[in-house]
Structure 1
Amino acid sequence: MEESLYLLKKTINTYSDCCFLYCGFSQTEPKHSFGPAIRDQFLIHIILKGEGYYSIKNQKYFLKKGQGFVIPPNVSTFYQADEKNPWSYVWMGIDGKLVGDYLSRMGITNDRLSFDIQDLDSFKSLIFECFTYEKDTLTNELVLQKQVYKFLELLSKSAAIHRQEILTKKMNPYVGRTIEIIRQNAYKNISVASIADQLSINRSYLSRLFQQDIGCSIKEYINEIRITISCDLLSSTDYSITEISEKVGFANSQSFSKAFKLITGISPTIYRKKRVGLGRIRKEE
């Protein structure tokens, strides 16, 4: 569970180089997790307090206050707050053809997606400044595009690749391959048995390996991937709940809504209402 303040905007114009999509601030509770998720854009986190870990590809990275991490497009990721010292962070979602090049020139590549930060207050101030441009006006839209470049400027000045080794853990190869199969087939009627057959491995053994490395069952992981995809569809499209449930592989809207509320704590309809503009999101009692 987390307390989250966010801003999600749908732009009127097209900005091909760099484009503001959303930003936010979260204060998490112990062991609060997000994902597994697959994004279509770059999502950059700056850790303000506490600690936690995130897993990407076949590796886990254990990070803390004064560090940050990038979630690149089209890669499955999962992150979780520490049990004793949960983290808080700000984030910004950015799209555009130049973003990857900018990050690469800062030394942030697919092989080095975490970094050290020297000026946390500036990042926090910038994100909270974004919240003041909630209204849908051309001026606000242009200012938010400018904020993207300010964010990248801060990152360029402040970020440094880790000067010391960070704690990491390598995933089992079968677990990594399972995640890849799920990523490629999340929209289909995929099952634990079908994955085990494809990998020529005992289903129970694969499930144990996955639970040890990821911390949840394969079925839970599949559902969370589908729910994360549906969150993006609820935020950025006008598809009906029934259409979205079909697109993410649920048999009907009832089973989709039940799974959605189990994972997010709120219904798809309420999520859609809350995720437009500026707002807070928390689980219903």
Structure 2
Amino acid sequence: MERAIFLRKDKKQINGDLVFDFCGVSQTMPFHSFGPAIRENFVLHVVLEGKGIYQVKDQQFQLEKGDLFLVRPNELTFYRADGKNPWLYAWIAFSGESAEKIIQETLLKKNAYTMKTSKMQQFVQYILNCLSFQQNDLSSELQLNAITNQFLAELLQDQGHIYFAEEKIYSPLTIEAMEYIQKNYQKDITVTEIAEALSVNRSHLSRVFSNHLTTTIKDYLTGVRINQAAFLLSFGEDSIETISEAVGFNSLVVFSRAFKKSTGETASHYRKRMKENQFQDVSLDRLKIQLEQQKIISRAT
């Protein structure tokens, strides 16, 4: 589950060599994950607070505040927030014939995917500037494309440094297990059933999964369920008991304990707080104030 403010432009009136696609800012919950998935765009993320992991090809990166990570088109990627200190990140997505050429001129050239930036505040400000263009007209589109160009010009000048993966632990089996969980978490599945579905030994699957993601299959499954429950609590009107059943818990008591352990609050308190203060409904001005208070951007910007 993410609490996000975002902007997306699907219908473009012009097609240039470099075009803005979407951007946003998200505060994630513990163990919130995206993927495994393939994007059609370049998506550049800026980690503002917290920690998480990013996996691409046979590489895994441990990332924190001040790091950038790049998702390239047509590459399978996965990223997940830390369980104790989940990340707050901003992102901008772009495409076009010049996109690859520009990236190849930055520190993220060739097979580089992550870097420590020296320009975090500037990058965040560009993304906030994009979020102010909510109109779906040609003028906004041109200005969003211009900001994207400025963002990448800043990236070209970034004097940060590249990260190299700490370990190479690519595991197709783990990816298969994650995909199975994503498709079947609503059911009363067990680790044994997952192993049988993938035609592997249970112990072998558990060992490979833990080595790959530094968490157990059971905890990952619980995290997926809690993330979905948080989404339903935030945006739906069903009872907590109905939601607990919908995400795969066969006991309201077990769900309640798991939800509080994961989020630090009861499901009812979480729902009340989210209804009163939806991050999706936060104005851009309020978001800027929040980022100023966290010293992510300065008051002068």
Same fold (TM over 0.5): yes
Residue 149 of structure 1 corresponds to: 149
Residue 169 of structure 1 corresponds to: 167
| Closer, same or farther: CA 93–185 of 1 in aligned 2, 3 Å | farther
Letter in 1 for 2:115: F
Letter in 2 for 1:177: P
Letter in 2 for 1:41: N
Residues 155-207 of structure 1 deviation map (CA, whole Å, 9 limit, x = unaligned)? 11125332xx6672332x5xx22256689999999x9458744xxx4244124
| Closer, same or farther: CA 196–27 of 1 in aligned 2, 3 Å | closer
Structure 1: runs of 5 or more not aligned:
229-257, 267-273, 281-285
1:44 Cα deviation after fit? 0.6
- Give TM-score, length-normalised by structure 1: 0.64
Structure 2: runs of 5 or more not aligned:
185-192, 229-245, 249-254, 256-269, 272-278, 287-301
| Closer, same or farther: CA 41–179 of 1 in aligned 2, 3 Å | farther
1:12 Cα deviation after fit? 2.9
Work out whether residues 36 and 179 of structure 2, in 8 Å CA contact, stay in contact via their aligned partners in 1: no
Letter in 2 for 1:170: K
| Closer, same or farther: CA 52–42 of 1 in aligned 2, 3 Å | same
In structure 2, distance between residues paired with 1:83 and 1:23: 26
- Give TM-score, length-normalised by structure 2: 0.61
Letter in 2 for 1:160: G
1:11 Cα deviation after fit? 2.6
In structure 2, distance between residues paired with 1:53 and 1:188: 22
1:127 Cα deviation after fit? 0.9
Work out whether residues 54 and 80 of structure 2, in 8 Å CA contact, stay in contact via their aligned partners in 1: yes
Larger relative contact order (CA 8 Å, sep ≥ 6): 1
Which stretch of structure 1 is more off in the superposition, 36-45 or 10-19? Answer: 10-19
| Closer, same or farther: CA 37–143 of 1 in aligned 2, 3 Å | farther
| Closer, same or farther: CA 41–184 of 1 in aligned 2, 3 Å | farther
Matched residues, percent identical?
Answer: 23
1:103 Cα deviation after fit? 1.1
1:79 Cα deviation after fit? 2.3
Residue 78 of structure 2 corresponds to: 77
Letter in 1 for 2:113: L
In structure 2, distance between residues paired with 1:107 and 1:183: 31
RMSD over aligned Cα, in angstroms?
A: 4.6
In structure 2, distance between residues paired with 1:195 and 1:110: 38
